[in-house]
Amino acid sequence: MNTHELFHTLHQLSRHLTNTLNEALKPLGLYGSQWSAIFVLKTKGFLTQKELCDYLFVEAPPMTRTIQRLVKQGYVRQVPGKDKREKIIQLTDKALLEYPKWEKTVFETNESVLKNLPETSQEELLRLQKSWLQQLK
């Protein structure tokens, strides 16, 4: 098995998709890292920063930065938790208003990079990736 090629193509795919997403989000004034946090917050309602980190498997410092940017743009609110160390994060009305446009853009971008990959391949790829990722944790 050519493990080198496997890692190399995976790395390139990831970079390519990140770049494509960032380019699509640029006119909306968002970055990919912000979108990933927004997406989780939209589906989960509200979370502490720690929970957001755990969910996205990202360390705390980059998450602090992402959230501070979102706060500055008025898309996210930080509410102190019962445990006063915690900050509970939630989307603002402004964000909820913009959300459908963001989601549409991301969805269309995803579709466009997948349009030549058969549906069965997409599903097989997802299955293999999930299985691999699970074994790594």
Partner DNA sequence: TTCAATTAGTTACCTAGGTAACTATATTCC
Partner DNA sequence: GGAATATAGTTACCTAGGTAACTAATTGAA
Tokens of 133: 């990722």
- Asked if 129 interacts with DNA (CB under 7 A), we say no
Cβ-based neighbour number of residue 91 at 10 Å: 20
- Asked if 64 interacts with DNA (CB under 7 A), we say yes
Q: Which stretch binds its own copies (CB under 8 A): 45-53, 77-85, 88-96, 106-114?
A: 106-114
Q: Residue 34 binds which one of DNA, its own copies, none, with CB within 5 to 8 A depending on kind?
A: DNA
Using CB under 7 A as the binding criterion, the count of chain residues that bind DNA stands at 35
- Asked if 109 interacts with DNA (CB under 7 A), we say no
Q: How far is CA 65 from CA 55, 62, 100, 128, in A?
A: 16, 5, 24, 32
- Asked if 86 interacts with DNA (CB under 7 A), we say yes
- Asked if 46 interacts with DNA (CB under 7 A), we say no
Rounded-to-integer distance, Cα 122 and Cα 61, Å: 33
- Asked if 31 interacts with its own copies (CB under 8 A), we say no
Q: Residue 65 binds which one of DNA, its own copies, none, with CB within 5 to 8 A depending on kind?
A: DNA
- Asked if 7 interacts with its own copies (CB under 8 A), we say yes
Tokens of 71: 């706060």
Cβ-based neighbour number of residue 109 at 10 Å: 17
Q: Which stretch binds its own copies (CB under 8 A): 4-12, 22-30, 69-77, 85-93?
A: 4-12
Cβ-based neighbour number of residue 21 at 10 Å: 20
Q: Exposed, middle or buried: residue 34 (CB in 10 Å: 0-12, 13-18, 19+)?
A: buried
* Dihedral pair phi/psi, residue 10, rounded to 5°: -60, -45
Residues engaged in binding its own copies (CB under 8 A): 1-18, 21, 36, 39, 57, 106-107, 110-111, 113-114, 116-117, 119, 121-126, 128-133, 135-136
